[in-house]
Structure 1
Amino acid sequence: MLIIPAENAVNWKRPPWVTLGLIMTCLLVFLFYQGGDSRLLDRAVEQYLDDGLLELEAPVYEDYLSREIRLQGRSDRVYDLQAFQQAREGGEPFWLAVSLLSDPEFYQYMTDNRDLLLAPAQRADWLARRVPIQEELIGRLSAFRFGLVPARLDVYTLVTYQFLHGGWGHIIGNLLFLFLLGYTVEKALGPGRFLLAYLVCGVLSGLVYTGFSLGSQVPLVGASGSISGLMGMYVAIYGLRKIRFFYFIGFYFNYFRAPALALLPVWLGKEIYDYWFAGATGIAYMAHAGGLLAGAGLVWLLGKSWFQVRESFFEPDESALDDRFTTGYAQAMGSLERMEFELARHQFEALRQHYPGRLIVLEHLYQLARLRPDLPRFRELARELMAEAANHHQPERMVAVWQEYLAEGESFTPLEAEDHNRVLFASLRHNDLKAAEKAFERLRQLGNDVLTSEACRLLASEFDKRQMSGRARYYQQLMQA
């Protein structure tokens, strides 16, 4: 079962740059730094097999796993023992060597008990062969150099482990969740505080994991603790507000709405339950639990200082925005009907400030500005409306506004060469050659040689395509003049 919050959509006009930067950093580390791990491991396996260490260690390893299960109650090792025994029976030396070399706890066990496990003649030979493999090859693997190892906790690894991953499935899953959660939390906190919160959650998650894994030689890698922190922050930011969640069970998925904080104990309980009962999955459940608590705790404890949510984050939902717009729009239209044009202009300006994407508001402001074509405001709004029409793929409206302005405002405040050039391009795309030629004449009068030359070339090409050789030749001659 999977449940994730899905309350916000990404606003690509204000991209979540820090979230995208974290994703890119993890990818680059995985591709260019961790990409060398496979070569190191291959060399270690080759040397391990050539030195005959498999025949020496395999029986000891099988006995070690059995002791871990019987005496230490390590039920998570049952699968390891069964897989190892099957590999020995199937004669898979490479896989066996990888299993032995990838188990740092077994190496530590061998090192601590070599006097009991090995005959005197074998000890010096084992040390001479095994230690260089461990230190010069295995020890240089990314997980052992910069992963979080509870038995020898280095402070810097509390940060570096967050950017390492164990494989393609691991990194793709983590980065997907980082994106889904990160853009909302980054929007709430702002880029700087979001980055700090992300790293702090990873550090605290790593400390919780270390506390439950004291003495373990197995390195922890991955961003899942930090991402769990984002989940905790996400629901703490919304508190008891009802938000939308996406859930996935088997092959069925859907959405539901619930108070945000209601999901925190559900997530936390699942991680703790899995820690005790899920068995050997290779998933750091307590790191996830620590991240959830760390993220929620940071917002609750420091939500009015270091990690204060931006006031602009809690925007009204779409239905509330529509109701407000409808009310304001009706008031402005009422002023128009009463011919109170100045009041209507102020009301539409206020609407545009709060609802900049509503093209109809810009249309009304433009029509009001036409009442005073001698003022610069008319040209400003005409240019804005032409640009919006182009963005909304409405070339006919763009040309119509341009023609209106030429008739009413051009004599007071002329348009610029770039404005006529944009109309020319839009007209050509819409196959309105008459408007395109008119725009060209206006452009030509302004003396911009670069734009005029390019426009000549385009018009000559368009007329040539339509086999209108006379007009094509005319523009070719202008190019050469």
Structure 2
Amino acid sequence: MLIIPAENAVNWKRPPWVTLSLMMVCLLVFLFYQGGDDRKFEAALEQYLDADLLTLEAPAYEDYLQREIRFSGDAQSVLELQEFQQLQEDNETFWLAATLLVDREFYQYLQENRDLIWAPAERSHWLEQRVSIDEQWLSRMSAYQLGLIPAELSLYSLITYQFLHGGWGHIIGNLLFLFLLGFTVEKALGPGRYLMAYLACGALSGLMYTGFSMGSQIPLVGASGSISGLMGMYVAIYGVQRIRFFYFLVVYFNYFRAPAIALLPVWVGKEIYDYWYAGSTGIAYMAHAGGLLAGAGLVWLLGKSWLQVKEEFFEPEEDEQDARFTSAYAQAMASLGRMEFDLAWRQFDALRERYPERTIVLEHLYQLAKLRPDLPAYRDLSRELMADAMARRQPEQMISVWQEYLSKGEAHHPLAVEDHNRVMFASLKHHDLKSAEKAFERMRSTADVEMVNEACRLLLAEFEKHQMEPKVRHYRQLLQNTL
């Protein structure tokens, strides 16, 4: 059964560039760097068969498997021996040779015991040919150059192995899961931290695999450890929140909701169970388990510092926000239509808290507050609407709100000097000299001398520009009187 989280949809207005880049790098590495592996292996196989090494190694391989069965009781070795014997009965020379060539642990066994297995002449021939095949072809294959080999662990291979894959089925499956999980985690952490966490999970996954495969010569390749890390981070980010999961069982599929973190022990338990009981499938179960634990552990340990989830991650997407706003706005407008002004006020006020950038809500609140100009709310909303108009570069609306307030609310709660000063500046910029003079007169009685003088100079300069001599004389006289 397959279970994957499915809580989010991709926002293509803000594409997950790091996830898409990781997918592209994996694909390019597979196509152009690993593309020569088949040719190298075919050349190795041809040289192997031409040198008749199968005749030398086949009996040794049977002894090797029987030895494993006697000393370790390994059921997998029994199965491998049966399959090998069946290939011999069917005279499948190609597959017999391929089986021996790719078994690196058997190759190591031959190197360590060649003096006991063959006579000097056979040993000399084997050494000459097999070492040549290994050095010229096999060791140059991508998995042995940049894959993670537990017996030869290196720091760089903890990163490079994450971008190699074993075939088309392997890479397609991994890229699909990388996309399904990556875009959500990238949105939560941000591009830079997401990339570092992804690589760290892959490295920790590789270390856990190495710990359970000490001395192994079999290389580990693939992004599945890193992707398991994304799964661990995904559920740790959501924690106990109930989210949607998609599941697939044979031909049946559906969704269910559950606390996100509840799936972590299920996934880890499945990987550990498969490690012990699934047999040899070529799947690195402990790498998957390590990735899951690494991803969840990183979020829990660093979730309040380096890996802190961005606040906007839990906000609804724009389309969902628009739908919610439209619904709540319609309810508030319906209350207005029924003249239930107190209810409409509460509804618009709630909308203002959730959607502070929606000017239309502010305008409705302003209109409702205007019904009671004697209350401070009318002054406060007038100032907010004036500031909003200036922010949107609409000085006409700012002046209009100011003039309306003067006629309705100024007598109850006067505006501050700074409000009149801003109106005067906006009026001058908009060449509304009448409103500018009116704002100046409002601020003149309460503003300090420096502010009055500066405002007077601005008015004087503007009237001089328009060659309005009576006004010029008036403001020049005012300026002289205050100096």
Give the TM-score, by structure 2 length: 0.70
* Secondary structure class of the residue paired with 1:247: strand
Q: 1:319-374: CA deviations, max 9, x gaps?
A: 89755653345446767998x9xx9xx98996996798xxx99xx9xxxxxxx9xx
Q: Which amino acid aligns with 1:219?
A: P
State which drifts further: 80-89 or 27-36: 80-89
Q: 1:121-153: CA deviations, max 9, x gaps?
A: 222221111101011110011111111000111
Which residue of 1 is the match for residue 113 of structure 2? Answer: 113
Which residue of 2 is the match for residue 197 of structure 1? Answer: 197
d(CA) in 2 for partners of 1:188, 1:246: 20
* Aligned residue runs from structure 1 range 369-388, under 5 A: none
* Aligned residue runs from structure 1 range 165-244, under 5 A: 165-244=165-244
Structure 2 stretches lacking a partner, 5+ long: 365-388, 396-483
Please state if 1:99 is matched with 2:75: no
Are the equivalent residues in 2 in contact too, given 1:328–1:351 (CA < 8 A)? no
d(CA) in 2 for partners of 1:286, 1:349: 50
* Aligned residue runs from structure 1 range 73-152, under 5 A: 73-152=73-152
Which residue of 1 is the match for residue 297 of structure 2? Answer: 297
d(CA) in 2 for partners of 1:34, 1:145: 11
* Secondary structure class of the residue paired with 2:222: coil
Shift of 1:229: 0.4
* Aligned residue runs from structure 1 range 73-472, under 5 A: 73-316=73-316, 325-331=326-332
d(CA) in 2 for partners of 1:65, 1:227: 34
Cα 1:319–1:172 change in 2 (3 A) is closer
Which residue of 2 is the match for residue 29 of structure 1? Answer: 29
Structure 1 stretches lacking a partner, 5+ long: 365-371, 379-481
Shift of 1:66: 1.9
Q: Which amino acid aligns with 1:141?
A: M
Are the equivalent residues in 2 in contact too, given 1:329–1:351 (CA < 8 A)? no
- Kindly report the root-mean-square deviation, in angstroms, between the aligned alpha carbons of the 2 structures: 3.4
Which residue of 1 is the match for residue 399 of structure 2? Answer: none
d(CA) in 1 for partners of 2:111, 2:278: 31
d(CA) in 2 for partners of 1:101, 1:129: 12
Q: Which amino acid aligns with 1:311?
A: E
d(CA) in 2 for partners of 1:137, 1:146: 15
Are the equivalent residues in 1 in contact too, given 2:87–2:95 (CA < 8 A)? yes
Are the equivalent residues in 2 in contact too, given 1:79–1:280 (CA < 8 A)? no
Are the equivalent residues in 2 in contact too, given 1:325–1:351 (CA < 8 A)? no
Q: 1:411-455: CA deviations, max 9, x gaps?
A: xxxxxxxxxxxxxxxxxxxxxxxxxxxxxxxxxxxxxxxxxxxxx
- Percent identity between matched residues is 67
* Secondary structure class of the residue paired with 2:256: strand
Are the equivalent residues in 2 in contact too, given 1:332–1:347 (CA < 8 A)? no
* Secondary structure class of the residue paired with 2:110: helix
* Secondary structure class of the residue paired with 1:253: strand
Are the equivalent residues in 2 in contact too, given 1:150–1:216 (CA < 8 A)? yes
Are the equivalent residues in 2 in contact too, given 1:77–1:280 (CA < 8 A)? no
d(CA) in 2 for partners of 1:4, 1:117: 50
d(CA) in 1 for partners of 2:47, 2:152: 27
Q: Which amino acid aligns with 1:146?
A: L
Shift of 1:167: 0.7
d(CA) in 2 for partners of 1:97, 1:178: 35
* Secondary structure class of the residue paired with 1:4: strand
* Secondary structure class of the residue paired with 2:283: coil
d(CA) in 2 for partners of 1:256, 1:274: 24
Which residue of 2 is the match for residue 18 of structure 1? Answer: 18
d(CA) in 1 for partners of 2:69, 2:198: 37
d(CA) in 1 for partners of 2:44, 2:316: 59
Shift of 1:78: 3.0
* Secondary structure class of the residue paired with 1:11: coil
Are the equivalent residues in 1 in contact too, given 2:329–2:351 (CA < 8 A)? no
Q: Which amino acid aligns with 1:159?
A: I
Q: Which one has a bigger Cα radius of gyration? A: 2
Which residue of 1 is the match for residue 372 of structure 2? Answer: none
Cα 1:101–1:308 change in 2 (3 A) is same
d(CA) in 2 for partners of 1:9, 1:243: 13
Q: 1:206-235: CA deviations, max 9, x gaps?
A: 000000000110000011100000000000
